[in-house]
Amino acid sequence: MIMQLVGFLILASTIYFSTTTVEKNPKLRTFWTIVGCLMFFTGALCLIVNSVGLQIGFLMWIELMGVLGSFLFKIGLIFGGIAVVILANHNPEAYDEYFDGKKYQ
């Protein structure tokens, strides 16, 4: 139970920090894009390797969550990585025309 909470906190804090730091410093978009890609590929690799019956050594703490918990965490890594990449590269000013009626400069 504790490991599932830790895993959820890791995913939630990563998504939160990616959105707040990119708004303050747009130069961090590349960093958060790389972090999101690493999350996606790590989750996908863990699912593929675990479906064969093998385990990755430095990610053994994920398996301590149990079968369902580790599966959900790996799915969370995949979708969390996608969310981090999308949120890091999101440009809210591009939608001003829709709300204001003014052309985007």
Per-residue pLDDT at 13 exceeds 80: yes
Report the pLDDT value the prediction gives residue 95, as an integer from 0 to 100: 61
User: CB atoms < 10 A from the CB of 76, how many?
Assistant: 18
For residue range 42-89, list pLDDT tens digits in order.
999 999 998 888 888 888 888 888 888 889 889 999 999 999 999 888
| Cβ atoms of residues 56 and 49 within 8 Å | yes
Q: Which burial class, exposed, middle or buried, applies to 10 when counting CB atoms under 10 A from its CB (0-12, 13-18, 19+)?
A: middle
| d(C-alpha 53, C-alpha 21), whole Å | 38
Per cent of the chain over pLDDT 90 is 25
Of 25-29, 39-43, 45-49, where does mean pLDDT reach its minimum? 25-29
Give me the pLDDT at residue 89, please.
86
pTM, two decimals, is 0.77
Burial of 51 (0-12, 13-18, 19+ CB in 10 A): exposed
